[in-house]
Chains A and B, each alone.
Chain A
Amino acid sequence: MITRTLRLALSLLAVALLLGGCAGGGDRGGGADPDRLRIAVQKDFGPLNFITMSEDQLLFLVYDRLVAPSPYAREPRPWLAKEVRQVDPVTWELDLRDNVTWHDGRPFTAEDVAFTVEFMKTAKSGTYTHHVTTVPRIERVDVLGPHRVRMNCAFACPFLGSVTLAHLPMLPRHVWSTVREPNRHTEPPIGTGPYRLVSYEPGRAYRFEANPAYFAGPPRVRELVMPIIPSPATTFTALRTGEIDTATGEVPPELVAQFEATSGITLVRTTPLQYPEVRMNHLRAPFDQAGFRRALSLAVDRHELNDTVWLGRGRAATKGYPHPDSPWTNPNLSTPYQPDEARRQLDALGFRDTDGDGVREGPAGPLRFTIKVDGAVPIRVRAAQLVAEHLTEVGIATRTEALDTGSLASLNETDDFDMYVNEITAHGVADPTQFIMSHYSGYLWELPDRPYPEMERVIDEWKAAPSIEARKAVSFRMQELFNSAPTAIPLHYPEGVLAYRPEAYDGWAESPGYGIVHKWSLLPRPVAEAANALTEPR
């Protein structure tokens, strides 16, 4: 009797599951609807308040910049501005487009530009504030007419047109001037961009709708649904089953070969302007010695890291800091692997193995250090282990310690580390003004509290350089100086592999630093090309 009951129950369950499974497709399936795309994002970025860390790829669907596409492109073009001209080393004038409106229908004017710059000075946004307060320092914005402004910098600002204005999102004055607590503002953002954020469900999804009144013409896709899927394995299973059409995240290396053989999915190889690096605590002896840091850099075999850890996907980081594919990076930088030279320099600094145990000693005892790393990212753990082996081979006993993601992030502020592995993004390694700022913020150095006369002299030269070419020349010298005694050692310049379903949409193209999911992929191709927003296909 029980057997019969069990059989019945199990049969009912199976039927229920089957019926449930076959009872309709929800929004899964082939994704043939050209009006809608489903794009997985890895994190919940909150309600896209620009002050906090948001994903540029999402944020700039809503917002626009005066110059496009970004500071990471070789020749940015005027975008919300019609014309951008440098009047003298410290002065710029901008003519704005007169046919741009905010999502709520109000016109975009010079008053919005002036407001944005002033607002950014107090916004305390990690990404944007320093662009108007420090490098460069915009002292004044004069409204010369409804669509004309003049900007004055405190010192020469030849990068203003191609870096600063290509970075700042333009904000509507009539919205933000009334916000009492900007950091906690949670209303949907109002921009001039090709998409409006119409729905945000915490932890679940974003939904954007096309802005039909976009000044450059309506985007090609009417609606974007972006489910939040943290796990890459889940993301790419959903891509395989056709539940999503593409993802902002990269295909994990172990899935690349499988996806290459999967019909209906196209892979795109990109150059993410970011990389993993070992950051050294230059406040702590002996990392406070330039020669010691130089020796460490010489001891790290980036080729082995590239071949062993990243399976040859990408490039060995032998060109140091910043990213070699940034248009602002000295192409002649070199950070070679020379372990014998590292040993010689350590000997010269007085770090010798006096007791024959294979570990060098310094004034404070044996050189024993720890590299901390995010235990949730196995590939970085393996990289840290290999770097530890490289350092141990030259007599610096190094071990690795895995931390949780939150604890590792706190090292940035607590300075409680010898070394740690960090993943640094395009803003840090492809924006020439952020490279300076990182020397003031404490990431690469702590100016002016902690003197670095050689670097300070070069920065003074940099500030005085009146033209882009002159400034690039000084930037190149500054990068050489940094790499001669780095406080952060890049480990690997990764290759990004992104995937999409072409039957759903085939307009994806790479924009420097942003992969393939960005507004330029969703605008008519001539518009994106006019903005010089796309990378040449590889």
Chain B
Amino acid sequence: MALRVGQYALVLAVAATINFALPHLAPGDPITYLYGGTEQGLTPAQIDELGAQYGLDRPLIEQYGAFWSGLVQGDLGISVEHRQPVVDVLAEHLPWTLALVGVSTGLSVLLGTLLGAWAAWRWGTRRDTAAVLSVLAADAMPGFWIAMVLIAVFAVQLGWFPSYGATSIDASGAAWLTEVAQRMALPAATLVIASLGGFFLLSRAAMVTVLDEPFVRRARAAGLRDRRVALRHALPNALLPVYTNLTLALGAVLSGAVVVETVFAYPGLGRLIFDAVTVRDYPLLQGAFLVVTVGIVLANLVADLTYPLLDPRVRRARPALEPA
């Protein structure tokens, strides 16, 4: 256990270093965005002076040292674009992404798995073929296109849902919750449609295999009802690959859904990162990448720790795999 935690700590340290280096490797800096550059009348000397105010004139290794020094104190610096502490900006945007992508991932898993099991139960029938074709067609559609179709139908034509944002600026209490739910409906639906396919196919394939297992045949032969056989005996055994896929997807939750957040002007982490790249907002990029990295590492850690609980074969196999 300690070894594993150490390994993850090392991965985090290396990832944090890469996160620091990547934004600095791209050409440009935030000064032009912030102050307008020579086009607006700043001279090169003034631009250099402004860069110095943001510490951009310091050697990269010194900036790297300052980055780690701040990191260990929980200080990720000040966002150049928003002129606020990075921690505050992330705290403002992270919950929206967690809510949006969390809800949509949960729905994708639930619907994809159940639909996959349903299709597997009817494997080879017309219904199965129709389900596979429908889900694959949805899976092949780009997220932004799904978003535009949903907006055109449900926001413009039917007027059921708002087309942008996460909430209105002055809503509060129950009205705020209603606002949030309404505004989340279309982006979440977009993500669900776009990501349903993976879970559906995994669930269907695993279920088809499990349904052929002797214990399923025996359960059927024992006269158990189809529903009980499917939900109590077959499905739990088919969930392992779905669970693996889910843990990987959970890591990606924090990186948000850039395209969907942009189309719906949703104030999540994905759009924040996209804007920060344009502005070359180094502190914000480093902070956001760090959050994403930590999310992915944690998801992997959770997967590592929980998989043996779900699959006893992993527990039993381990001693045999370890060197003497």
Contacts and interface: CB of A to CB of B under 8 A. Distances in A.
Interface stretch (A203-211, A351-359, A493-501): A203-211
B118 interface: yes
Of A49, A204, A442, most buried by chain B (CB within 10 Å of CB) is A204
Interface in A208-238: 225, 227-231, 233-234, 237-238
A434 B41 contact: yes
Contacts of B189: 17
Contacts of A263: none
A424 interface: yes
Interface in A413-449: 413-414, 416, 422, 424-425, 427-428, 434, 437-438, 440-443
Interface string B251-265: 000000000001111
B215 interface: no
A130 interface: yes
17 contacts: A1-B227, A2-B117, A2-B231, A5-B114, A27-B168, A52-B34, A124-B50, A134-B41, A184-B83, A203-B93, A231-B265, A234-B265, A237-B152, A407-B26, A407-B28, A409-B37, A413-B38
Nearest to A183: B53
A6 B115 contact: yes
B36 interface: yes
Nearest to B48: A413
A257 interface: no
A413 B32 contact: yes
Given A125-B35, A230-B265, A442-B38, A240 B156 contact: yes
B73 interface: no
Given A26-B182, A124-B46, A241-B159, A406 B28 contact: yes
Nearest to B168: A27
B181 interface: yes
Given A2-B118, A184-B83, A28 B265 contact: no
A461 to B, nearest CB: 21
A44 interface: yes
Contacts of A199: 169
A213 B207 CA distance: 71
A127 interface: yes
Given A6-B114, A28-B162, A405-B278, A234 B83 contact: no
Interface in B27-80: 27-29, 31-44, 46-47, 49-50, 53, 78-79
A207 B40 CA distance: 27
Of B92, B166, B267, most buried by chain A (CB within 10 Å of CB) is B267
A127 B169 contact: no
B84 A202 contact: yes
A442 B42 CA distance: 9
Which secondary structure dominates where chain B touches chain A? helix
Given A2-B230, A3-B118, A227 B169 contact: yes
Given A1-B225, A6-B118, A440-B43, 12 more contacts: A2-B118, A6-B114, A20-B181, A23-B181, A44-B82, A124-B42, A203-B272, A233-B148, A238-B164, A406-B26, A437-B41, A441-B43
Contacts of B115: 6
A228 B41 contact: no
Interface stretch (B2-10, B171-179, B313-321): B171-179
A46 B271 CA distance: 16
A201 to B, nearest CB: 7
Contacts of A422: 39
B166 A204 contact: yes
Given A20-B182, A46-B81, A412-B32, A241 B163 contact: yes
A514 to B, nearest CB: 17
B197 interface: no
Of A13, A229, A237, most buried by chain B (CB within 10 Å of CB) is A237
Nearest to B121: A2
B275 interface: yes
A47 to B, nearest CB: 6
A21 interface: yes
A427 B117 CA distance: 63
**Interface pairs A-B: 10 shortest CB-CB:** A1-B227, A410-B28, A21-B160, A126-B40, A126-B36, A443-B38, A441-B38, A130-B41, A202-B82, A126-B35
B136 interface: no
B135 interface: no
Contacts of A225: 168-170
B299 to A, nearest CB: 25
Of B39, B44, B155, B262, most buried by chain A (CB within 10 Å of CB) is B39
Interface string A109-131: 00000000000000011110110
B163 A238 contact: yes
B111 to A, nearest CB: 8
A61 B265 CA distance: 24
Interface in A1-55: 1-3, 5-6, 9, 13, 17-18, 20-24, 26-28, 44, 46-47, 49, 51-53
A18 to B, nearest CB: 7
Nearest to A409: B32
Interface string B78-99: 1101111000010011000000
B178 A26 contact: yes
A243 interface: yes
B151 interface: yes
Nearest to A124: B46
Contact of B170 (A46, A207, A241): A207
Of B31, B38, B107, B159, most buried by chain A (CB within 10 Å of CB) is B38
Given A1-B225, A229-B265, A46 B171 contact: no
B92 A202 contact: yes
A514 B161 CA distance: 32
B36 A241 contact: no
Contacts of B36: 53, 126-127
Contact of B267 (A21, A51, A204, A442): A204
Contacts of A202: 79, 82, 84, 89, 92
A260 interface: no
Contacts of A184: 78, 83
Nearest to B31: A413
Contact of A229 (B148, B158, B164): B164
A186 interface: yes
Interface string A441-462: 1110000000000000000000
A20 B267 contact: no
Contacts of B166: 204
A404 interface: yes
B226 interface: yes
Contacts of A1: 225-227, 230-231
B158 to A, nearest CB: 8
Contacts of B243: none
A490 B164 CA distance: 36
Contacts of A428: 39-40
Contacts of B265: 227-231, 234
Contacts of B264: 234
B154 interface: yes
B155 A241 contact: yes
Contacts of A443: 37-39
Contacts of B161: 20-21
Contacts of B47: 413
B202 interface: no
Given A204-B267, A410-B28, A23 B178 contact: yes
A406 B280 contact: yes
A199 B161 CA distance: 25
B196 interface: no
